[in-house]
Chains A and B, each alone.
Chain A
Amino acid sequence: MNLPFRLAFEQRTETPRRLAVMVPLLSVLAAIVAGGIFLFATGYSPFETYSNMLSDGFFSSTGITDTLGLSTVLICTGIAAAFAFQMNLYNIGGEGQLYLGMIGGAWAGLFFGDRLPGFVMIPVVLLVGAACGALWIALPAFVRARLGTSEIVTTLLLTYIGASLVNHFIYRAGSYFRAPNTLFPQGRQVPDSAMLSPLGDTTMYPTFFLVTVLAVFLWWVVRRTEFGYRIQVISDSPRAARYAGISAQRTTVQVMMISGALSGLGGATLIVGTFGRLDPGIVLLGYGYAGIVIAALARNNMAAIIVSGILFAGLRTGGDKLQISTDTPIHIGVMLQGAILLFALGGEAFRRYRVKVVRMQTATAQGAAQ
């Protein structure tokens, strides 16, 4: 590879504020343009597709509430991913922890449903869901802290095991979670006391506000508390942390368990809202994986995740309705998510470095002159 030029990277000491805002925006734009070219090349109309996605995702009355409704679970999985990512712990099994949260939430709803009143039931369902999510990451967290086993692969493998568990609970005859006497296997609905009512005539539930407040609270925890400071020190310099007497092992377990609990909470919000039962279709929706993209785009900033979560929910809502409004496959939505993240990562380089194109000839000429 002998190119006539090469790229030189100069580390920026300070990132201009203008760039910190422009880079993510331009990444999204670039991904949309690239997606448009791809759509055009495969024989679909980019303008029609995008205008449909925009209006169905954001600018119609049901569109925006559908988007905010969907963003509830996505913000949850987003903060779950970011909470671990900020300490360089790559919990990418949020998807599996979400399944477990849904299983736990459904169990709590079915088990306590007729014995407890609604105002106790809702917190119980959410907490049991969060606890199950934490439980699902306990083994990866423990072996990561103690033995250094890569959490990336272990959490991911547990997602596949979690998916089989969901299937087991729905498709096994006589399962506790399965609705009796239905032709097609489906989950048993939790009692009304374990469910919230949507806001008016929408698909939005009060859990949206809970999750938003939680994101802001975690932003405060990260920025302003001793615990957040500890996380910062460990991720910046593990050695400095050791000298300061901070136990990286314990913090690793704590951070990963919180991350798992947040994903589990996301699963439980689907029980008190949207689904109201354990639904095997959850394994196809990829809400947990989307959280990774949302966290990365917000650069693990808990408050910014609210924005990127809503943006992605809009992409999904608009994308999912595409098949109805046009004949474009809905998968363009997922593709765009990936493309946005790829462009955002590329853009990151321009934020961190001053990129210059250096001619090779002048460089060799200089070398010869010396």
Chain B
Amino acid sequence: MNSNIWVLMSADSVALATTLILAALGALFTERSGVLNLGIEGILLTSAITSFIAADSSGSIWLGLVVGSLLGAVLAGIHAVLAVTLRANQIVSGLALVIFGTGLANFLGKPYEGKNIETKILPLSFGPLTDIPVVGPVLFGQDPVTYFTIALAVGASWYLFRTRPGLELRATGDDPATVDAQGLKVSSIRIRYTLAGGAMVGLGGSWLMLAESAAWHQAATTNGIGWIALALVVFASWRPIRLIAGAILFGFTLQLPFTLQAENITFIPQAFLQMVPYAVTLISLIALSRPGSSNALGAPRALGTPFVRDER
């Protein structure tokens, strides 16, 4: 019985990691282009409720995923216009998006409080493979979106470091002036990847809603996962493969309180268990910091600074 719970917990950590990977991957692409989007938490929350509404009214969870992703791109679009086109302060713009998104999500979610979605996204079953002890449920008991996410992260790594557009993307985040001198449009590249990043975050929020929680709990639905995702990008040094490992670790800490509660391990107060994921994230962020510049970590050099070409 005991070991079963721990196996389930490992499987759940991989599952929770799905939202983390998608949200962090979205942030990673956005940041690689030089745009800092702090609005992840707001996008996650709004896409979660819109995917719920879409799935609930159409009866199709897949349509829910599509609508949620599109909404993620739309919200990121607001940030793109402000941060890239109008050169607004990216930090404040991202925060405004969190506040706006939280209000919007709660407004839209009001009639759906306490309501459950009828069909969740279900895990696949590979027959005998899934029945293998320990390894089975963890590797072969996930749902299609989780497998897609892992493939997306691996693909992202190849795209970033092995393709021409990937090179252009990295260059835009590091040295926009050179990219501009090459005749490429910095603002167009930045807007495109901010939108694409938003869609990934939106998919993450939709999946969290339609596979994990399946009921709307206002802001508690995401409960800070967006912020953990932002820290995860730093943790992974802006590299997609490291992001998978980090997400599984953070997914594990997010899962911990529930498992220990199920195990009746009560000598640690519940409230302190709830702190674990945030504390782990905090400590790892500090541990990775070095005096001097953050560039040692691999942060895009032009991250958060608008590109201003000398205009005639």
- A residues near B (Cβ < 8 Å) are 1, 7-10, 42, 90, 92, 139, 143, 146-150, 152-154, 156-158, 160-161, 164-165, 167-168, 171-172, 289, 292-293, 296, 329, 331-339, 341-342, 345-346, 348-349, 352-353
Contacts and interface: CB of A to CB of B under 8 A. Distances in A.
A157 B38 contact: no
Contacts of A143: 286, 289
Contact of A1 (B78, B92, B110, B191): B191
A167 B103 contact: no
Given A90-B91, A349-B87, A164 B275 contact: yes
Contacts of A158: 278, 282
Given A341-B92, A342-B78, A345-B88, 14 more contacts: A1-B191, A153-B227, A153-B230, A153-B285, A331-B106, A331-B110, A334-B106, A336-B103, A337-B100, A341-B100, A345-B92, A345-B93, A346-B82, A348-B88
A19 to B, nearest CB: 15
Given A338-B103, A341-B96, A147 B311 contact: no
Contacts of A42: 107-108
B293 interface: yes
A286 B100 CA distance: 13
Interface size class of B (residues with CB under 8 A): 35 or more
A349 B82 CA distance: 9
A335 B107 CA distance: 8
A161 B282 CA distance: 10
A341 B188 contact: no
Interface in B120-137: none
A148 B96 contact: no
A293 B96 contact: yes
Contacts of A337: 99-100, 103
Contacts of B110: 329, 331
Contacts, number: 156
A143 B286 CA distance: 7
A156 B227 contact: yes
Contact of A335 (B103, B228, B269): B103
Contacts of A164: 271-272, 274-275
Given A148-B290, A164-B275, A165-B271, A349 B88 contact: yes
Given A157-B281, A292-B95, A346-B88, A147 B291 contact: yes
A210 to B, nearest CB: 27
Contacts of A165: 271, 275
Given A342-B82, A345-B96, A329 B278 contact: no
B8 interface: no
B139 interface: no
Contact of B294 (A150, A172, A333, A335): A150
Which one of A160, A333, A348 has the greatest number of beta carbons of chain B within 10 Å? A160
B102 interface: yes
Interface in B234-265: 234
B103 A333 contact: yes
Contacts of B269: 168, 172
